[in-house]
Structure 1
Amino acid sequence: MSAKQNVNGTTRLVAAVRDAGRLFLRLIALAAAAATVSAQAEPTSLARVRTATRPALAVDVGRVTAAGAPTLDGSPVAGFDVIWAGRLSTSAAPADASQWWWLRGQGVNTIVNLDALMYDFAQYGFESFLWMPVGAGEAPADEGVQSFLKFIQLCDNKPAHISGGARDGRATLVALLRYAIDAWTIEAALAEGQRLNGDAPLSPKQVMWLLGWTASHLPGSERLDSCLLIGG
């Protein structure tokens, strides 16, 4: 699924040098630095993110601009938070195209959409998405949880992003992955959910659903060791 390409190899330039009235051609090999993008190509917004205390997600500028983005600066989206550096982040749903482009500019590759509204993700260069609506105060549907836990760990989907208008819906899924993948205790996972919910407790329905999950699943039981680098 991934369409990433590295810029590397050797560039050969021909330089003309005049010596004693004769023209000599000299072949000069310039080794290009192996990197995903050059320093000149790095967008200003990404440079600012990399100097921030929060770890930035990796970005492939070549793929973003190839998708037709007029700019990678855009407007920051509310509630942006990195869950696994270079792997997973979360935020409120972008309010307009500028915020979608800003999110893409942070390196986000795929979207987990928690809103009932469907968006045209392809126009912003996102490669794929998972749609599992979770409303305010609601718990996720059991049939979608396994797909979610697998989706966010697949190598081809990184970096993934959890987007949704309901803050407690996003927080509930992060609490779930902290327990199910990161092997946190349920107490620590619930505290993480509360932090992402603006320090407000999750709804009783969400808490009971998470406790019900722990009754039939061990901490870390959904971790895929083949790709995921556990953070935090």
Structure 2
Amino acid sequence: MSRNLFVTGTGTEIGKTYVAGLLVKTLHDAGLDVAYYKAAMSGNDRRADGSLIPGDALFVKEFAGITQSMESMCPYVYEHAVSPHLASRLEGNPVRMEVVEKAFREVSAEHDYVVVEGSGGILCPLGYDEERIQLEDVVHRLRLPSVIVADAGLGTINGVVLTYEYMRQKGLPMRGILFNHYHEGDLMEEDNRNMCEEMTGLPVLSCIVKGDKTLAGITAEQVAALFS
């Protein structure tokens, strides 16, 4: 079975997929057997034949250069760019925990490391009408440690600390924070980094600049050590 790591964020459009791709690429480039998994993806385009393209999975696959099939990366793919619980209400095929867990176990049986990406922030509901499933339920069920992806800019202290406190209260282990959209030398962003570390006790593992193809300040060995 694999060692695993969950990637959550302080909100949607924060860059979780990009950071997940960087994590996968870092391990893959180091010669490790790594895979990607996401329980539910919303906001996907259709192919000419009408089937949906799992966009996040496609990005990670191409960005990291892994050969894993996209079909194994995500059991639930929706067209509408809304929370999965609402997308399934509009499109059918509601998320079931047993399906999420089965698909994850199949991936983890085939690979040494699995990066698991969440949908939106940690409070995003995956299912509601038929089976009430929060992202935290998936993290608990799969026994995943987490990293928090946050924007380096204005407002991030509030988002990081609220996410941290919620996850701490729910008993979800956290390994650290990854700052995205970072500008080196920016006084406010440097202070954001220091304050987030001070107020949560979590380390900022890497500060990521737009267009980065590697994770700054952290080695592949250190990335691998985040997984359990």
Q: TM-score, normalised by structure 1?
A: 0.28
Higher helix share: 2
> Which protein, 1 or 2, shows the higher relative CO under an 8 Å CA cutoff with sep ≥ 6?
2
